[in-house]
Amino acid sequence: MQRIEVDEKGYYGEFGGAYIPEMLNRNIEELKSRYLEIMNDASFKAEFQLLLKDYVGRPSPLYYAERLSAQYHTNIYLKREDLNHTGAHKINNALGQVLLAERLGKKKIIAETGAGQHGVATATACALKGLECIVYMGEVDIARQAPNVARMKMLGAEVIPAMSGSKTLKDATNEALRHWINNPSDTHYVIGSVVGPHPFPDMVTRFQSIISEEIRWQLKEKTGSELPTHVLACVGGGSNAAGAFYHFLNEREVNLVAVEAAGLGVDTGSTAATTRLGKVGVLHASKSLVMQTDDGQVIEPHSISAGLDYPGIGPMHAYLFDSGRATYLHATDDESLKAAYNLTKIEGIIPALESAHALAVLEKMNLTKKDVVVVCLSGRGDKDMETYIQRMHKFI
Ligand X SMILES: *Cc1c(COP(=O)(O)O)cnc(C)c1O
Q: Catalytic amino acids? A: 90, 112, 378
Q: DSSP per residue over 109-128, as a string?
A: EEEEESSSHHHHHHHHHHHH
Is residue 115 at the binding interface for ligand X, with CB under 6 A as the rule?
yes
355 binds ligand X (CB under 6 A): yes
Q: Which is nearer to ligand X, 52 or 91 (CB)?
A: 91
DSSP state letters, 177-204: HHHHHHSTTTEEEE--SS-SSTTHHHHH
Question: How many other C-beta atoms can be found within 10 angstroms of the C-beta atom of residue 266?
Answer: 18
Of 180 and 207, which CB lies nearer to ligand X in the complex structure?
Answer: 207
Strand duo 372-377 + 230-234: pairing: parallel
Q: Are 197 and 285 in contact (CB under 8 A)?
A: yes
Which residue minimizes CB distance to ligand X?
379
The least CB distance from residue 21 to ligand X, in Å, is 24
Is residue 88 at the binding interface for ligand X, with CB under 6 A as the rule? yes
Length of the chain, in residues: 396
Given candidates 10, 17, 307, 311, which one binds ligand X under the rule CB under 6 A?
307
Q: Which residues contact 88 (CB under 8 A, 6 or more apart)?
A: 81, 82, 117, 121, 240, 352, 378, 379, 380
Interface region with ligand X, contact rule CB under 6 A, candidates 11-19, 175-183, 235-243, 321-329: 235-243
Q: How far is the CB of 42 from ligand X (least distance, A)?
A: 29
* 186 contact partners, CB below 8 Å, separation of at least 6: 106, 107, 108
The reply on whether position 236 binds ligand X by CB under 6 A is yes
240 near ligand X (CB under 6 A): yes
Binding segment for ligand X (CB under 6 A), chosen from 4-12, 16-24, 232-240, 289-297, is 232-240
The answer to whether the beta carbons of residues 312 and 338 sit under 8 Å apart is no
Q: CA 202 to CA 315: how far, in whole Å?
A: 10
CB of 132 to ligand X, least distance (A): 23
Complex with ligand X: residue 343 or 352, whichever CB lies closer: 352
Q: Which is nearer to ligand X, 24 or 242 (CB)?
A: 242
Q: Among residues 110, 235, 298, 339, which is the contact residue for ligand X, using CB under 6 A?
A: 235
Minimal distance, residue 25 CB to ligand X, in Å: 26
Q: Does 312 sit near ligand X (CB under 6 A)?
A: no
Q: At 130, is the secondary structure helix, strand, or coil?
A: coil
Residue 339 is a binding residue for ligand X (CB under 6 A): no
The gap between the terminal CA atoms of the chain, to the nearest Å, is 49
Number of H helices, E strands in the chain: 16, 14
In the complex with ligand X, the residue whose CB is nearer, 371 or 374, is: 374
Per CB under 6 A, the list member of 197, 238, 278, 301 interacting with ligand X is 238
Stretches 17-25, 42-50, 231-239, 267-275: which one binds ligand X (CB under 6 A)?
231-239
Q: Does 117 bind ligand X (CB under 6 A)?
A: yes
Residue 124 touching ligand X (CB under 6 A): no
Asked if 239 touches ligand X (CB under 6 A), the answer is yes
> In the chain, at which residue ranges do the beta strands (DSSP E only) sit?
11-12, 15-16, 62-64, 75-80, 108-113, 132-138, 158-162, 187-190, 230-234, 255-263, 279-283, 286-290, 326-332, 372-377
Closest to ligand X by CB, 75 or 155: 155
201 binds ligand X (CB under 6 A): no
**CB 281 to ligand X: min, Å:** 19
Assess contact for 120 and 151: CB atoms under 8 A. yes
CA dihedral 80, 85, 87, 92 (to 10 degrees): -70
Give SS3 for 373.
strand
354 interacts with ligand X by CB under 6 A: yes
Q: State the residues that interact with ligand X by CB under 6 A.
A: 88, 90, 115, 117-118, 193, 234-241, 307-308, 352, 354-355, 378-379
